[in-house]
Structure 1
Amino acid sequence: MNAPTTTDAPPLLRRDEAGIAVLTLDRPASRNALSEALIGALTEELDRIGADRSVRAVVLAASGPVFCAGHDLKEMTTRRKDADRGRAYFAEILGRCSAMMQRIVRLPQPVIAAVEGIATAAGCQLVASCDLAAAGEKARFCTPGVNIGLFCSTPMVALSRNLSRKHAMEMLLLGETIPAAEAARMGLVNRVVPAGSAVAEAMRLAAIIASKSTLTVRIGKKAFYEQAEMTLAEAYDHASRVMAENMLARDAEEGIGAVLEKRQPIWTGE
Structure 2
Amino acid sequence: MAILERHDTGGIAHLHLNSPGNLNALSDEMLAALQAQIDALSQDRETRVVILSGEGKAFCAGHDLKQMQAARGDADGGKAYFQDLFTRCARVMTGLTRLPQPVIAQVHGIATAAGCQMVASCDMAVAAEGTRFGVNGVNIGLFCSTPMVALTRNIHRKKAFEMLTTGQFLSTDEALEQGLINHAVPAEALETRTRDLAETVAAKLSAAVKIGKSAFYDQMTMSLEDAYAFAGNVMVENMLWRDTDEGINAFIEKRKPDWA
TM-score clears 0.5 = yes
| Equivalent in the alignment of 1:152 | 144
DSSP-derived class of the 2:162 partner: helix
Q: Are 1:137 and 2:129 matched, yes or no?
A: yes
Residue 195 of structure 2 is aligned to residue 203 of structure 1:
yes
RMSD: 0.9
The yes-or-no answer on 1:101 pairing with 2:93 is yes
The normalised TM-score by structure 2 is: 0.98
1:192 corresponds to which residue?
184
Runs of 4+ in 1 over 3 A off after TM superposition: none
> What residue is the counterpart of 1:4 in the other structure?
none
State the SS of the aligned residue for 2:188. Answer: coil
Please tell me the residue identity of whatever aligns with 1:45: Q
Structure 2 CA distance, aligned partners of 1:255 and 1:166? 43
Question: 1:34·1:70 contact (CA, 8 Å) conserved in 2?
Answer: yes
Cα drift, residue 216 of structure 1: 0.2
TM-superposition CA deviations, 1:113-138 (whole Å, max 9, x none): 00010000000000000000000001
1:50 & 1:142 partners in 2: Cα distance?
Answer: 29
The question of whether the paired residues in 2 share the 8 Å contact of 1:135 and 1:192 is answered with: yes
Q: How far, CA to CA, are the matches of 2:230 and 2:89 in structure 1?
A: 30
Q: 1:261 Cα shift? A: 0.8
Matches within 5 A, 1:29-68: 29-68=21-60
CA contact (8 A) 1:46 1:104 kept: yes
Deviations 1:91-150 (A, max 9, x none): 001100100101100000000000010000000000000000000001110000111111
Compute the TM-score of the two structures, normalised by the length of structure 1. 0.94
1:163 is the counterpart of 2:118: no
Instruction: Give the letter for the 2:79 counterpart.
Output: R
Query: Structure 1 unaligned runs (5+)?
Result: 1-8
Query: Secondary structure of the equivalent of 1:158?
Result: helix
Aligned partner of 2:223 in structure 1 is 231
Shift in Å, 1:87: 0.3
Partners of 1:36 and 1:98 in 2: CA distance: 13
State the one-letter code of the partner of 2:91: A
- 1:2-81 map, 5 Å: 9-81=1-73
- What is the CA-CA distance between 1:197 and the residue it aligns to? 2.5
